[in-house]
Amino acid sequence: MIEKTIAAAIRRLAVHHLAGGALLGAGVLALPAQAQAPAPAGASGDMQKVEIVGTSIRRRLAAQTALPITSLRADDFAKQGLSTVQEVLATIPMNQTSTGASQSVGSGTGGRATADLRGLGSDKTLVLLNGRRLANHPFFADTVDLNIIPVAALERVEVLRDGASAIYGSDAIGGVINFVTKRSYRGMEASVEAYQPAGSGGGDEQRINFTGGWGDLATDGYNLLGVVDFHRQSALTATDRDFARTGVRPERGLNQTSGTTFPANFYSEEGISGNPTFATGCRPPYSIPNLSGVPNCRFDSTQFVDLIPLTKQETFLGRFSKKIGAAHTGTLEYLHSRSTNEARVAPPPLAGIGLTMTSTSPFYPGAGITPAVAGLTGEPLDVSWRPLVTGEREGLDVSLTDRLLGGMEGSFGGWDYNLGLSYAVGRARSAFTNGYVVDARIIEGVGNGLLNPFGEQTPAGNDYLRQSLLQGEYLRAKIKSGAIDFKASRELMALPAGPLGFALGGEFRRDEADYRVNRALASQASSSGAADSQDQSGSRNIGAVFTELNVPVLKDLEVNLAARYDDYTDFGHSFNPKVALRWQPTKQVLLRGSFNKGFRAPTLYDLHGPQTTTNTSNSWNDPVLCPGGKPAPGANPNMSCDQQQNIRSGGNSQVRPERSRTYSAGIVLEPTDKLTLSADYWDIRLKDQISELAEESIFGDYQKYQNLYSYNAARTRLDYVLAIIQNLGEVKTRGVDLGVLWRLQRGALGDFTLGVDGTYVDRYDYQNERNGPFTVNAGRFADATPVFRWRHNATLGWTRGPLNMTLSNRYLSGYDDQPDENGVVPGRVGHYSTWSLAGTYTASRKVSVTAGVKNLLDEDPPFTVQSTTFQQGYDPRYTDPLGRTFYVRATYKF
């Protein structure tokens, strides 16, 4: 298990202090500009024992490690202007996706930010704080919200690029990210940061934080640390950026519009579909003529969407550590974090809710106010309408996390031990703040002739709509996790090749999840997605034991064995072994490899999450009511043809665990102490993937998935397609991580450091059902996402005296764009390459200033026709809409 762990962080701390300068099993640092740090106490003499993510055996020498981690120092990423944890993780090439605030727009994620190692999904990346779990975000309960991580308190970030279920249990299939806070900090400091995009609109950021530390563990016997951090980013709207301002780009093949518009479309009992303003060109720029030949209008909803919502985070971390005797340390730690997200999307689409206009309405086509439409004879009209005067739909998501941790560590009877008792609570709530309307009032207003869906409202109509707005909290979720854990390690005996290391540990955890829907509120608005959601709850107990053995077979060859047994009260047990090897035939060459099995248990949301009915991301033709884009007799084309359909998602009590196996093999070369080269091959196979079936698959093959279609009794309306969480098929992915770190000392010219970390994905294939065909995803957009063949982060650093400069490049390769409904690929999405420049001047021991430019060349995201997200024209999951952004950071130490 050690193979994916200790090296990178310890390497830079210890390599120049180890006798003989032996080659270490280290990964290449992603941010090498400040690669070296002062050695830990005792580094040049008696080496202290160190514990790094991925192993339970405390190691005496960094040279004993095997596979690498990627270690990012907080000082380095702060100097590069990386203001959030999401941005930091986006620089790690093996992190295929780093979703955040932009993806929460209209998606019901509660504003959370996540990471996704190896592209397997954020639910298969385990996030730790100081080696222990946090409460997952209540919405979906599958991963920690990165917004709660206290950026100002961090010392480093460790990324374990290997499966770790044998040590940590569930969730660690793709890898582990461990956020490590300052341990024994003394003094006080304050930092202020500001970020300003060069383009028009919002998106500016501000951050201020305070850190205070009192006492020294070594001399005073105690340490008290307190960190307070505040971060804010203003909203950036779609109309602020030309590449994202519209979903209608016919010259590029993009025509992402909605059939629910203003002025409204209608459908009559006699089979007439139309719009009274079609003959005069509808009402641009929001409403435009339908190009399919149907005489109605389409709505460009993209113009109303936030590219980045208004976000705020406040975090507090307090920790008190106390020496107890010479060999023990007790710790009490408290974390509190609050994150808010205010996002806006287009005004509410009111379609399929029974919105009916009769000929008694003064606004009926041809009655005098609204233009006549040929063929209408006074029959009732089914109306599809967006009341623009109510404004954009605005939602507020608030997430809070609290964790209290008590711990004891030290040595006793020849054992190194670590004991922890923790209680964590994650809470989230969602509220309507503007734009949502009471369906029943709109139905009544149109029915009695008060509201005009085809034109401007009367004063009475405007007043009626204002009184129809729906506001308040409609969803509340809570997840609780209480745990006790222990681990102990020692050297059992001295073997001819070295000491035999042994560790054992155990954990007991109870998780509870509770979802409460305000039925009285949510049921009144179909556009909320929660109109028919129900309260849900669930709980489980988890017990686990694990062990680890490090066997030095020969002087330069060691084998590491680890295994873990987990027992869940709600689905059963799981046993997961791991074996790793490390061979260093010379000081300049290190070979390593591993095999492990992993698993991920279904989360409490996977099992018990409330089911919601929302709109699909794409517009689709109903395969029964509008086959081939032609409405069937009696079908309403405004609902059935080229329209966002209803899709139902949520938990499923029948979900089973997903399981994996991972192979890896690597080599590290260090021909000189100035140059390190590494290459690591990985191969992951995942079975029974837990996920939702993509809407592209459901609508792309009606014959296969017709059992997921739910129609009304008369089969004149599609109520929804069912896409709840389930076990899909297999995922097979493989690739290689490459790294270069070159340290050049030029004397009077200063010190130079060049680092390149890259990941090449050779294969990423998946099945949508067991024993089904595999879909190729590497280098192309398949179903809902692309997988990049190549990603890298390159950094050139220069240091001379008090001045440090960093030039960095982040690169993502191009891929085949999202295919249309006939499987035709419209073109190629270009590569995305951005450069950033930063400089830090340390004026004194008390004052330092950093200034820089992100996206130095003002590179726009490459164009794509993807329609999976609310934003159009680019993909916000991988690219940044801000453009060139200037920033400054000032730190003062008291």
The DSSP code sequence of 579-595 is EEEEEEEETTEEEEEEE
Distance (Å, rounded) from C-alpha 754 to C-alpha 189?
A: 30
Pairing of strands 718-722, 646-649: parallel
CA–CA–CA angle 767, 770, 776 (5° rounding): 15
Give bridge partners of residue 117 from the DSSP assignment: 95
DSSP secondary structure code for residue 411 in this structure: E
Q: Is 860 found in the same domain as 791? A: yes
What does the longest C-alpha to C-alpha distance in the chain come to?
A: 100
| pLDDT greater than 90 at residue 830 | yes
Res 323: pLDDT: 95
Mean pLDDT calculated for residue range 793-817: 94
| pLDDT on residue 38 | 35
What is the model's pLDDT at position 340? 92
Instruction: Give the pLDDT mean for 125-134.
Output: 90
- Is 58 domain-assigned? yes
CB 688 within 8 A of CB 659: yes
Half-sphere exposure (Cβ direction) of 524: Cα atoms closer than 13 Å: 17
364, 498: one domain: no
- The strand pair at 472-495 and 498-517 is best described as antiparallel
Does 111 lie in the same domain as 75?
A: yes
Report the pLDDT averaged over residues 10-35.
31
In a shared domain, residues 193 and 271: no
Work out the pLDDT band at 105, boundaries 50, 70, 90. low
Residue tagged 């409904």 (tokens)? 821
- Report the alpha-carbon distance of residue 261 to residue 283 in Å, rounded: 10
At residue 484, the 3 state secondary structure works out as strand
527 within a domain of the structure (yes/no):
yes
- In this model, does residue 43 exceed pLDDT 50? no
- For residue 599, being part of any structural domain is answered with yes
Q: Which helix (H) or strand (E) holds 826?
A: none
Same domain, 463 and 409: no
Residue 4 scores a pLDDT above 50: no
In the chain, the number of structural domains is: 2
Cross-strand partners of 422: 405, 483
Q: What are phi and psi of 264, to 5 degrees?
A: -70, 150
Among the candidates 470, 485, 512, a domain finishes at 470
Is the distance from CB of 465 to CB of 509 less than 8 angstroms?
A: no
Tell which of 422, 449, 470 closes a domain: 470
Residue 763: its pLDDT value, please? Answer: 97
| Structural contact between residues 209 and 176, judged by C-beta atoms closer than 8 angstroms | no
Q: Is 689 a domain residue?
A: yes
Residues 341 and 366 in one domain: no
What DSSP element (H or E) covers 8? helix 7-14
The radius of gyration of the chain from alpha carbons, rounded to an integer in Å, stands at: 29
Residue 70 has, within 13 A of its CA and on its CB side, a CA count of: 32
| Bridge partners of residue 34, in order along the sequence | none
pLDDT of residue 494: 92
Between 110 and 833, whose confidence is greater?
Answer: 833
Question: Within a 10 A sphere around the Cβ of 280, how many other Cβ atoms?
Answer: 10
Q: How far apart are CA 664 and CA 301, in angstroms?
A: 46
Residue 329 has pLDDT above 60, yes or no: yes
The contacts of residue 360 (CB under 8 Å, 6+ apart) are 449
3-state SS track over 9-64: HHHHHHHHHCHHHCCCCCCCCCCHHHCCCCCCCCCCCCCCCECCCCCCCCECCHHH
Q: Is 433 exposed, middle or buried (0-12, 13-18, 19+ CB in 10 A)?
A: middle
Lowest-pLDDT range of 46-60, 449-463, 585-599, 868-882: 46-60
Q: Are 33 and 76 in contact (CB under 8 A)?
A: yes
Residue 491 has pLDDT above 90, yes or no: yes
Confidence at residue 32, expressed as pLDDT on a 0 to 100 scale:
36
Q: What is the mean pLDDT of residues 435-457?
A: 95
Q: What is the mean pLDDT of residues 845-859?
A: 95
Q: What is the pLDDT of residue 616?
A: 87
Q: Calculate mean pLDDT across residues 716-741.
A: 94
Which of 6-15, 46-55, 122-131 reaches the highest mean pLDDT? 122-131
How far out from the chain centre does Cα 314 lie?
19
Which amino acid would we find at residue 786?
P
Check residue 352 and give its pLDDT. 85
Residues 490-516 have a mean pLDDT of 93
The reported pLDDT for the residue numbered 793 is 94
Work out the pLDDT band at 26, boundaries 50, 70, 90.
Answer: very low
Q: How many CA atoms lie within 13 A of 881 on its CB side?
A: 32
**What is the spatial distance between Cα 858 and Cα 841, in angstroms, rounded to a whole number?**
25
Asked if residues 174 and 125 have their Cβ atoms less than 8 Å apart, the reply is: yes
Token code pair at residue 228: 């307070």
pLDDT over 80 (residue 6):
no
- Higher pLDDT: 46 or 435? It is 435
Residues making up the chain, counted from first to last? 894
pLDDT confidence of residue 555: 87
Predicted TM-score (pTM) of this structure: 0.89
What pLDDT was estimated at residue 820? 82
pLDDT of residue 700: 87
Q: Which of 52-66, 77-91, 828-842 has the highest mean pLDDT?
A: 828-842
Least trusted range by pLDDT, from 18-22, 45-49, 494-498, 580-584:
18-22
Quote the Cα angle for 608-611-615, to 5°: 150
More confident residue, 98 or 867: 867
What integer pLDDT is reported at residue 51 of this predicted model? Answer: 62
Q: Give kind and range of the element (H or E) at residue 465.
A: helix 459-466
Tokens encoding 294: 């149907």
DSSP for 598-662?
A: EEEPPPHHHHHPPPEEEE-SS-B--TTTSGGG-PPTT--HHHHSSBPPEEEE---TT---EEEEE
Inter-residue contact 676 to 741 (CB < 8 Å) = yes
Q: At 573, list the tokens.
A: 């047990």
Give yes or no: residues 365 and 405 share one domain.
no
Q: Say what the pLDDT of residue 49 is.
A: 54
CA atoms within 13 A on the CB side of 676: 31
645 Cα distance to chain centroid: 26
Residue 774: pLDDT over 80: yes
pLDDT of residue 525: 83
**pLDDT of amino acid 34:** 33
Closest CA to 125 of 113, 150, 110, 142: 142
**How far from chain centre, in Å, is Cα 492?**
42
User: Taking residues 504-522, what's their average pLDDT?
Assistant: 92
Query: Is 406 among the domain residues?
Result: yes
What is the Cβ-side half-sphere exposure of residue 271, based on CA atoms within 13 angstroms?
Answer: 6
Q: What pLDDT score does 45 carry?
A: 37
**Is residue 635 one of the residues assigned to a domain?**
no
For the cut 80, the answer to whether the pLDDT of residue 135 exceeds it is yes
| Range with the poorest average pLDDT among 76-85, 129-138, 374-383, 802-811 | 76-85
Alpha-carbon distance of 14 to 9, in angstroms, equals: 9
Comparing 28 with 709, the larger pLDDT belongs to 709
* 391-395, 531-535, 574-578, range with the lowest pLDDT: 531-535
285 preceded by cis ω (within 30°)? yes
Residue 760 shares a structural domain with residue 796: yes
Q: Which residues of 69-82 are buried (b: 16+ CB within 10 A; e: fewer)?
A: bbbbbbbbbbbbbb
Percent pLDDT > 70 in the chain is: 91
- 16 has pLDDT over 70: no
Q: How far are the Cα atoms of 264, 364, 382, 444, 642 from residue 356, in angstroms, in the given order?
A: 12, 11, 5, 9, 21
Same domain, 441 and 527: no
First to last CA, the chain: 42
Distances (CA, A) of 16 to 44, 439, 471, 750: 9, 70, 62, 19
Q: Are 400 and 654 in contact (CB under 8 A)?
A: no
Q: Which of 85-94, 690-699, 768-777 has the lowest mean pLDDT?
A: 85-94
Average pLDDT across the chain, whole number: 87
128 found inside a domain: yes
The proportion of the chain whose per-residue pLDDT surpasses 90, expressed as a percent, equals 64
- CA atoms within 13 Å, Cβ hemisphere of 782: 16
Q: From residue 297, give the alpha-carbon distance in Å to each of 206, 305, 384, 447, 893.
A: 42, 20, 11, 22, 61
458 in a domain, yes or no? yes
pLDDT value for 109: 57
Q: At what angle do helices 459-466 and 439-447 cross, to 10 degrees?
A: 160
CA-CA distance, 636 to 265, in Å (whole number)?
Answer: 11
Tell me: do 553 and 462 sit in the same domain.
no
- How many angstroms separate the CA atoms of 21 and 62, rounded? 11
Which of residues 470, 494, 512 is at a domain's end?
470
Q: Tabulate helix, strand, coil % of the chain (nearest 5).
A: 15, 45, 40
**DSSP secondary-structure letter at 461?**
H
| Predicted pLDDT at 54 | 66
Q: Is the same domain home to 404 and 514?
A: yes
Report the amino acid identity of residue 216: D
Give 67's pLDDT tier (boundaries 50, 70, 90).
low
Domain containing 686: what range?
2-239+308-346+395-436+472-611+650-693+728-893
At residue 90, the 3 state secondary structure works out as: helix
Are 755 and 711 spatial neighbours (Cβ–Cβ below 8 Å)? no
User: Which residues, 6+ apart, have CB-to-CB distance to 613 below 8 Å?
Assistant: 529, 531, 532, 646, 647, 648, 720
Q: Say what the pLDDT of residue 7 is.
A: 34
Burial of 622 (0-12, 13-18, 19+ CB in 10 A): buried
Show Cβ contacts of residue 225 under 8 Å, excluding neighbours closer than 6 positions. Answer: 153, 181, 182, 184, 185, 211, 212, 213, 317, 318, 319, 320, 321
CA 757 to CA 737: how far, in whole Å?
7
Task: For the beta carbon of residue 466, count every other beta carbon within 10 angstroms.
Answer: 11
pLDDT category, 862, cuts 50, 70, 90?
Answer: very high
Q: Are residues 105 and 200 in the same domain?
A: yes
3-class SS of residue 562:
strand
CATH number at residue 162: 2.40.170.20
For 779, which DSSP code?
T
d(CA 801, CA 798): 10
Assign 633 a pLDDT band (cuts: 50, 70, 90). confident
Mean pLDDT highest for which of 694-698, 743-747, 814-818, 864-868? Answer: 814-818
Whether residue 711 is predicted with pLDDT greater than 90 in this model: the reply is: yes
Least confident window among 78-87, 398-407, 791-800: 78-87
Mean pLDDT of 785-807: 94
